[in-house]
Each structure stands twice: as C-alpha cells, then as structure tokens.
Amino acid sequence: MLVLPNAWDAGSARVIEAAGAVAVATTSGGVSWSAGRGDGQRLSRAEAVAAARRITAAVSVPVTVDAEGGYGPAPADVAATVADLVAAGAAGVNLEDSAAVGGPLFTVAAQAARLRAARDAAAAAGLPGLVVNARTDVFLFGVGAPESRPAAVLTRSRAYAEAGADGIFVPGLRDLDVLAELCAASPLPVNAMAVPGGPSVPQLAAAGVRRISLGTALAQSAYTAARRAAAELLGAGTLEGLDGVLDFGELNALFAP
C-alpha cells in the first residue's frame, strides 16, 4: 500500500516529507491554483515542468507528477511532457484519459497509444522504470450508464496494461464493493482517491486498493485555513484561527541550507 499526500508547491512538498511521507504526489489543481490559474491544463507544459522541478528539488523522496492529459492530445505531446518531467526529476507521472474537463474521454486505442508514447519517452530519457499511473475518468465524469462503468474501466485497464502502464487510477469511485471487484479483476494495481466522507485508508486497503492519493484535498485545506484566518482578522480582529499552526522556527528549519 502506497499512500501519497498531494503537494502543490515546493514548500508543501517539504512539509509533507517531514510528516513522514515515503513519496510525494503533486496535484494539478493545487499547482494551478498556486500560479493563479484554474485546473484543467491551463498551465503550459513549460510552467508545469518548472513547478515539478521546484518540488523534486525540495525533497529527497520520490515525486510522482500529475501531468494531467499530457499537455496535448497527440502521443508526441505526451512523449515531450514525459521527457521533460524525467529531466525535472520525476519518478512517476499521472496521465488521464479525458480530452477535457468533464469529458469526452480518448478512445481506448488512442489513450493506449498515448501511454505507449509515455513509456517509450521515459526509456529514451534514461528512466525506463518511470511509474506510469493511468487515470481513467469513467467514474469521475459519469461516462456511460452506471451499470456499464465497471466493465468499461476493466477494458481500459487491460489495454493500458498492454501499453505499459503500471497502475490504473479510478477517481470518483467510492463504492467499496465495486472497488473490490475491480481490484480482483484488473491486471493493473488499482489506485483510488481518499476524500472527506468517503472510505478510509484501511477500508480502501481491505478492498484491494494498492495506491491512495488525496487529489486537491490538502491544497483546499490550506487555502480554507488562509481564508478563515483572514476573514477573522478582517472581521472580529482576532487570530484564534491561527491557534496550533506550525512554529515559525520549525517551519523555517525545513528549508535550511
């Protein structure tokens, strides 16, 4: 079982590493927000790679980068992104099969070709062991009839495995019974997203999930804390919302040369 708290900048990655994480994932939403943009490939490839480079340089643990849809629809676009991310120090990438936020999805064949390009690019860049996490948005975007979605994910999992993916990520799927069935049938280890109000890490592990991430949840929590504290300061003029924050010295020491 690999649990990956998601970072959105170098500072959050370092804090997550200090909390005991053995690896760090990035979240495209959080990275985009930190740059003043919305999620959904609104960063350029160069901007996304630069953010990844700052994060990998800040920690000593492996970093897997949310590469969204590869910053372009063609296999060559995905290959260019992967090559740049390997050069930036990434140990893994997350590649989704949606052509746009909300869909549609790339066809199975088209996404398999994109994943093959990612695998070939990693090998050419000198990192054949790059972990390629293939995200499918069948459940996240409600593609097809509900009863058809498990079979659709399995079809994609088989094709993605043949294309060289190392795992299948199914955000939006919270039903533990369906997850257990998928884990038992999938040729790839299944990755799931832990969300507030959803199954816990032990419950997901018991269902057979082998990798768990949080998406934008930690970034949302940080921005929520900032808004609450600012609203309190500007309103009542108090600072109770800042009780229990990390000590300045403790936090600053994480970035000591």
Q: Is residue 161, in this structure, part of any structural domain at all?
A: yes
State the distance between the two ends of the chain, measured CA to CA, in whole angstroms: 33
* pLDDT recorded at residue 101: 84
Give whole-number Cα distances, 51 to 16, 66, 247, in Å: 16, 11, 26
Q: What is the pLDDT of residues 172-213, one digit of tens each?
A: 999 999 999 999 999 999 999 999 999 999 999 999 999 999
Q: What is the pLDDT of residues 28-57, one digit of tens each?
A: 999 999 999 999 889 999 999 999 999 999
Q: Is residue 229, in this structure, part of any structural domain at all?
A: no
Handedness of CA 163, 169, 171, 174 (dihedral sign): positive
> What integer best gives the mean pLDDT of the chain?
96
* pLDDT recorded at residue 225: 95
CA angle 161, 164, 167 (to 5 degrees): 55
Give whole-number Cα distances, 37 to 28, 33, 42, 43, 182, in Å: 10, 5, 7, 7, 35
Residue 102's pLDDT band, with cuts at 50, 70 and 90, is confident
Average pLDDT over residues 144-162: 97
Tell me, what DSSP letter sits at residue 250? H
Taking alpha carbons only, the member of 116, 122, 123, 93 closest to residue 28 is 93
Question: Which residues in the chain belong to E strands, given as ranges?
Answer: 2-4, 6-7, 24-26, 63-66, 92-96, 131-135, 167-169, 190-193, 211-213
* pLDDT recorded at residue 149: 97
Spatial CB neighbours of 144, under 8 Å, sequence gap ≥ 6: 138, 152
Taking alpha carbons only, the member of 29, 27, 4 closest to residue 212 is 4
User: Does position 256 have pLDDT exceeding 80, yes or no?
Assistant: no
* pLDDT recorded at residue 100: 86
Tokens 């959080």, residue located: 30
What's the domain count of the chain? 1
Q: Is residue 42, in this structure, part of any structural domain at all?
A: yes
Q: Is residue 25, in this structure, part of any structural domain at all?
A: yes
Distance of CA 36 to the CA centre of its chain: 19
Residue ranges making up the domain that contains 56: 2-216
Give whole-number Cα distances, 58 to 54, 252, 255, in Å: 6, 13, 8
Strand partners, 208: none
What percent of the chain is predicted at pLDDT more than 90? 96
SS3 state of residue 184: helix
* pLDDT recorded at residue 187: 98
Average pLDDT over residues 19-35: 97
pTM over 0.85: yes
Asked if 40 and 100 touch (Cβ cutoff 8 Å), the reply is: yes
Tokens 């990612």, residue located: 118
Q: Is residue 7, in this structure, part of any structural domain at all?
A: yes
Tokens 């043949």, residue located: 162
Handedness of CA 32, 36, 42, 45 (dihedral sign): negative
Q: Is residue 22, in this structure, part of any structural domain at all?
A: yes
Residue 49: which CATH number? 3.20.20.60
User: Does position 257 have pLDDT exceeding 80, yes or no?
Assistant: no
Taking alpha carbons only, the member of 153, 146, 67, 54 closest to residue 114 is 67
Average pLDDT over residues 121-132: 98
Q: What is the pLDDT of residues 69-95, one digit of tens each?
A: 999 999 999 999 999 999 999 999 999
Q: Is residue 12, in this structure, part of any structural domain at all?
A: yes
Asked if 164 and 119 touch (Cβ cutoff 8 Å), the reply is: yes
Q: Is residue 228, in this structure, part of any structural domain at all?
A: no
